[in-house]
Structure 1
Amino acid sequence: MMTSLQVTWDSSLSLRQVLLIIGSLLFIFVAYFAVRILYGLLTFPDRPKALAELERDLAEAKKFLRSKGIQM
């Protein structure tokens, strides 16, 4: 005589498991953006040089607009 073995799977999650999953996802999300911000701060180009480039680009844009008859 052959008997079958039944295996049941409880698919319900407890509140503690749900909170653990949410907390883990939140931690990963915050850690990712913290690393991105820190990396951006550490690799940001020389600020005075970047400001000078920005001012030069703005001057070129104003010159272009003036050539089209737009006063700023």
Structure 2
Amino acid sequence: MIPSEVDRRLAWYVYNRYLPVKVKEEIIDKLLPVCIWEDEEDLDHDELVRWAVEIIDEHFDDRELL
């Protein structure tokens, strides 16, 4: 099993290296307003990840990332 810290670092690398800027901006536009107005301990991290994955999947479905 890959340690969670290694997994997290790999995900961070892929996110920053391979996602187009417009996809990252769309994710930020969706997540930032929620994150600004809520205390971190009140945030539903699973929901935030789901939102980001939906955005990424939309772009993969459109073949824009390939």
Pairwise same-fold verdict (TM > 0.5): no
**TM-score normalised to structure 2 length:** 0.33
Give 1 or 2 for the bigger CA radius of gyration: 1
By percentage of residues, which structure has more helix?
2
Higher RCO (CA-CA < 8 Å; seq separation 6+): 2
